Amino acid sequence: MNYLSDRINQLAESETLAMTRRSRELRAKGIDVINLSIGEPDFNTPEHVKTAAKIAIDQNYTHYPPVPGYPELRQAIANKLKRDNQLVYTPEQIVVSTGAKQSLANIILSLVNPGEEVLIPAPYWVSYKEIIKLAEAKGVFIEGKIDYNFKVSAEQLEAAITPNTKLFLFSSPCNPTGTVYNREELKTFADVFERHPQVFIISDEIYEHINFRGKHESIAQFESIRDRVIIVNGLSKGFAMTGWRLGYMAAPLEIAKACDKLQSQITSGACSITQRAAITAMDTDPSNSPDIRNMVEAFHYRRDLALALLKEIPGLRVNVPDGAFYLFPEVVRYYGKSYGERVIHSATDLCDYLLDTAFVAIVPGVAFGSLDCVRISYATSEDQLREAIRRIAEALAKLA
Ligand code: PMP
Ligand code: GLU
């Protein structure tokens, strides 16, 4: 008898985390797996941030923190938004949570009623669709094509909006495509939203600092829609702090209060020690931080390296991502090919084949709303990256 709720039965496991789990299991059996499936910097947290956490423990920051975050942290985030993004928020508009993932869940559950539509450009990050399912809302996907660097246009956006559209949700830089929308493109989106005042916008900016084309642009900069934009960000990517679990949102006051209330019943807020360390991270100006600069330079170098190596593999099509740390090659030319008994019908078959025979873990595009592509994270050392792509090339060459 299946006694679990429909809610949980309908929910998919995070495919990125599932692939990582499978590669950990193989590694535990002594197999030398290269894991390019998880989106996490291979760098360590900057020393000054770690020191702040150690001091916080010694100063006994071990009690329940305020649910939306320590006032000093909310102030530090407001300062960061002013310093890095020229955006003015009061600390009351900031809610700190246990990761950007939780901020997204807070906002979606606070804003969307069952049956309402949430518009999402595809390919999209794996958890968007599932959190929307939990909210019993309806995901509506706008297809971005590889020929246009996976960008969607204002015309596509306009055509997808209905009176039932409540929310638009996107990431730039994008996970999984690395696509970065520029100011002009965001302005065309803002113009569309001006005509549809019922639509709120979640701008997931967690890859803000991992941008190879220059200045990060936020859709929150457009005053005419500002009272409907919610920024989501966090420390996982920019500060190499995935395990610390800290994210935040900057929102219109009423939405911030709603998320505070939700969080008060579900998590009681983010870890006190992490929050104290986060104050130090937020006070770090990324343009003056050797830690962040070195990490982003390394990602930029590896992007170019991985692109060059993948381009040598026949049958793959790759766009040039401007940010994040993923490549999203199209692999359809391998569909229908086989190696022995093994026939490749889909990107999922291809990823299984590569994991089983080349011991390289990557994620099938279906997790991100694309049947044609696979996601490769290049947040790993240059040696591992070269070896992984060598193995992928070798395994693909065996398919006929
Ligand atoms: N948004 C995007 C686009 C992501 O790639 C991730 C995962 N790194 C998150 C949100 C969640 O990040 P976290 O919960 O680690 O802050
Ligand atoms: N967001 C990262 C990824 O896309 C981490 C895994 C997850 O949170 O699902 O791989």
Local structure of 276: helix, strand or coil: helix
Q: What is the mean pLDDT of the chain?
A: 96
Per-residue confidence band for 15, with pLDDT thresholds at 50, 70 and 90: confident
Mutate to test the pocket of ligand 2, among 13, 38, 325 (most ligand atoms within 8 A of CB): 38
pLDDT of 97 reads: 98
The Cβ of residue 307 has, within 10 Å, a number of other Cβ atoms equal to: 16
Give this prediction's pTM.
0.96
Q: Which residue has the tokens 């040039």?
A: 320
| Mean pLDDT on 345-367 | 95
Report whether residue 97 contacts ligand 1, using a CB cutoff of 6 Å: no
d(CA 121, CA 306): 25
Q: Are 330 and 146 spatial neighbours (Cβ–Cβ below 8 Å)?
A: yes
Instruction: Set out the domains of the chain in order of their start, with CATH numbers.
Output: 6-44+290-395 (3.90.1150.10), 47-284 (3.40.640.10)
pLDDT of 18 reads: 86
pLDDT of 298 reads: 96
pLDDT of 335 reads: 97
Model confidence over 290-325: pLDDT tens digits?
A: 999 999 999 999 999 999 999 999 999 999 999 999
Report whether residue 100 contacts ligand 1, using a CB cutoff of 6 Å: yes
Per-residue confidence band for 167, with pLDDT thresholds at 50, 70 and 90: very high
Report whether residue 210 contacts ligand 2, using a CB cutoff of 6 Å: no
Q: 139 is written with which tokens?
A: 């995901």
Q: Nearest ligand, CA of residue 235?
A: 1
Can you state the percent helix, strand and coil of the chain, rounding each to 5?
Answer: 45, 15, 40
Residue nearest to atom 10 of ligand 2 (CA): 39
pLDDT greater than 90 at residue 384: yes
- C-alpha dist (Å) from residue 260 to 7, 67, 103, 113, 201: 24, 6, 10, 18, 19
Residue nearest to atom 5 of ligand 2 (CA): 39
How many angstroms is it from 374 CA to the middle of ligand 2? 14
pLDDT of 61 reads: 98
For the chain, give the percent of residues with pLDDT over 90: 94
Local structure of 175: helix, strand or coil: coil
d(CA 305, CA 351): 21
Report whether residue 39 contacts ligand 2, using a CB cutoff of 6 Å: yes
pLDDT greater than 90 at residue 13: no
Model confidence over 34-88: pLDDT tens digits?
A: 999 988 999 999 999 999 999 999 999 999 999 999 999 999 999 999 999 999 9
Model confidence over 103-144: pLDDT tens digits?
A: 999 999 999 999 999 999 999 999 999 999 999 999 999 999
Q: Are 218 and 211 spatial neighbours (Cβ–Cβ below 8 Å)?
A: no
Q: Are 365 and 373 spatial neighbours (Cβ–Cβ below 8 Å)?
A: yes
Report whether residue 20 contacts ligand 1, using a CB cutoff of 6 Å: no
| Mean pLDDT on 258-287 | 97
Mutate to test the pocket of ligand 2, among 13, 16, 236 (most ligand atoms within 8 A of CB): 16
Q: 318 is written with which tokens?
A: 């790759």
pLDDT of 126 reads: 93
Per-residue confidence band for 269, with pLDDT thresholds at 50, 70 and 90: very high
DSSP secondary structure, 26-56, as one string: HHHTT---EE--S---SSPPPHHHHHHHHHH
Tell how far CA 207 is from the center of its chain.
Answer: 7
Indicate which atom in ligand 1 lies nearest the CA of residue 235: 16
Q: Nearest ligand, CA of residue 234?
A: 1
pLDDT of 276 reads: 98
Q: Nearest ligand, CA of residue 17?
A: 2
pLDDT of 14 reads: 86
